[in-house]
Amino acid sequence: MTREACRSGIVASVSDKTVWRWLHEDAIRPWQHRCWIFPRDPEFAAKAGRMLDLYARRWNGRRLREDEFVVSADEKTSIQARARIHPTLPPRPGAPSLVEHEYRRCGAWAYIAALDVHRAKVFGLCERKTGIEPFDRLVERVMLKHPYRDARRVFWVVDNGSSHRGDRAVRRLQAKDKRIVLVQGPVHASWLNQIEIYFSIVERKALTPNDFPTLEALAERLFQFERHYESIAKPFEWKFTRDDLNTMLDRHKKGGHLPIRLAA
């Protein structure tokens, strides 16, 4: 940049430090960029709004009853068990834990989980792969537990994964249990699904560093963390409302950018 400023005749000479100061003081910074997703779902507002209403314990303009529950569910795919080729060394005073960079792959789980968003209750399964049958096993596990087995309705908030997408999934789950209301979010809206927050916590607190000698050890870590999480957690303090959504979409229509972050 310094050479270009001199070559184009803007200045006779200038230091690198001065050029960087000019750039950082300027309103437009072309070397910076953000990735974002254009909302292509024509029903984005309606679908996302239903999710946000449920987080506020509302459905079709009415308050949910005490025996109605909201469950957020999804799959965290391909969680590898990585056995380090040398043992991990514990932290010492003034020194961090040392984790060997090289490892052996010991297989991978698909972690399928559901979160009761108003009770901070977690249900998880480790499956060899994702799909309709593994997801239905999770649904069955939840619906057989108290208080869901005695519920009036249980709303399942999901994304557009193949195991719970479209009208066919709605009919399939309704055939299993008429009390299930499948609420499918719009495309590219996993950031509105609260189970993704739990998955990010799992990644940081239970899976980092990844050092598991077997798949069984990895599964046990996930299930132990579920029990620990339930003993200390409270429902997420969800602040993004339908009004916030409408404001965001209105800004987009008027020419502003829409800050929808890429899902992990």
22 with 114, same domain?
A: no
164 with 240, same domain?
A: yes
Let me know: does 243 contact 52? Beta carbons within 8 Å: no
18 with 149, same domain?
A: no
Q: Which of 33-42, 163-172, 185-194 has the highest mean pLDDT?
A: 163-172
**Rounded Cα–Cα distance for residues 51 and 184 (Å):** 8
- For residue 38, being part of any structural domain is answered with no
pLDDT at 44: 92
- What domain range is 17 assigned to? 1-33
pTM of the model: 0.85
- Does residue 264 carry a pLDDT above 50? no
29 with 56, same domain?
A: no
pLDDT at 1: 63
- For residue 264, being part of any structural domain is answered with no
Number of domains in the chain: 2
Mean pLDDT of 53-64: 97
Let me know: does 138 contact 125? Beta carbons within 8 Å: yes
14 with 54, same domain?
A: no
Residue-wise pLDDT for 123-153, tens only, equals 999 999 999 999 999 999 999 999 999 999 9
The larger pLDDT score, comparing residue 42 to residue 154, is at 154
User: Where does the pLDDT of residue 256 fall: very low under 50, low under 70, confident under 90, or very high at 90 and above?
Assistant: low
Mean pLDDT of 25-35: 75
pLDDT at 263: 38
168 with 221, same domain?
A: yes
110 with 153, same domain?
A: yes
206 with 230, same domain?
A: yes
| Residue 167 CB burial class (10 angstroms; 0-12, 13-18, ≥19) | exposed
**Rounded Cα–Cα distance for residues 76 and 165 (Å):** 16
pLDDT at 239: 93
Residues 6+ apart with CB under 8 A from 149: 143
Residue-wise pLDDT for 224-240, tens only, equals 999 999 999 999 999 99
79 with 109, same domain?
A: yes
DSSP 213: S
- For residue 263, being part of any structural domain is answered with no
